[in-house]
Amino acid sequence: MILFQSILVIKLVKVMVKFPKIIRLGWLYNGIFKNWKSITYKFPQLYDYFLGDSYKERFNYIAERIGKNKTVLELGCGTGILSKFLDESNTYIGWDLNQDFVKYVKKKGYKAELRNVFDYKNYPNVDFIVLCDILHHICPDHEKLLDYTTKHTNVIVAEPIATDASQMTMENAAMNIGLKFLSIIPEELMRLLDHFLLDNDGFNPYDNRMKWKYNDKTLKNLYNKFGIDDIKIIGHDYIGIGRKRE
């Protein structure tokens, strides 16, 4: 996957060098490809391969804190990577708006539903709601979700301190090299790469996602605002655990 993406990035960079004006053609991602999802969101197997081995420490920690014999609802579940880290005694339910992801999770043998995370009235009774890399995808409405979920049940949330590649580190060395590259390229090229290759989920536009500008202090304050005060830092992620609020 990394080699494949690297080849695509190199080819795209060559095009940018040869035709520099192309990076200013907003119609590429605001017109013809407005509803386009990046390649990692089109093919769940690629997403799984790309991220599955990069966050083992994070998922192991979340699974450890959930424990055994619990029912878990993961909102914005993606390919359901968390499910394979949970103890077999647990019941896992995943919600996502990506139809390909939902089908993929079902093929793994887990329950998954094509639902909007704001569909509050259909929330099942569960022991934990997990919000893993979902809040920055629904920015600027992330506080609404935190407010409701923390009143509904116990919540585990994991979010990056920032979406800026220069501030991120990964367990995978090759991915760290990729992050170094992404941290030095021009903004318009980054926008184009995001749209076709990186974190474009097809629902929340780039400009909204880039409003996620939390640092270690402000992200901690955000968590604390909703009663999430048991916090552990793993890599560039803040993982917070909050008990149900009254």
Q: What is the pLDDT of residues 54-76, one digit of tens each?
A: 688 999 999 999 999 999 999 99
Q: How many CA atoms lie within 13 A of 219 on its CB side?
A: 24
Contact residues for 60 (Cβ-Cβ < 8 A; gap 6+): 85
Which structural domain range is residue 86 located in?
1-246
Q: How many domains does the chain have?
A: 1
Residues of the chain with pLDDT under 70: 1-38, 50-54, 162-212
- What pLDDT shows up at residue 13? 52
Would you state the torsion angle of the CA atoms of residues 15, 19, 24, 30, taken in this order, to the nearest 10 degrees?
Answer: -50
Here the CATH number for the domain that contains residue 7 is 3.40.50.150
- What pLDDT shows up at residue 204? 63
> Which CB contacts under 8 angstroms, 24+ apart, belong to 2-9?
2/50, 2/174, 2/175, 2/178, 4/46, 5/39, 5/50, 5/178, 5/197, 6/178, 8/39, 8/196, 8/197, 9/181, 9/193, 9/197
pTM of the model: 0.74
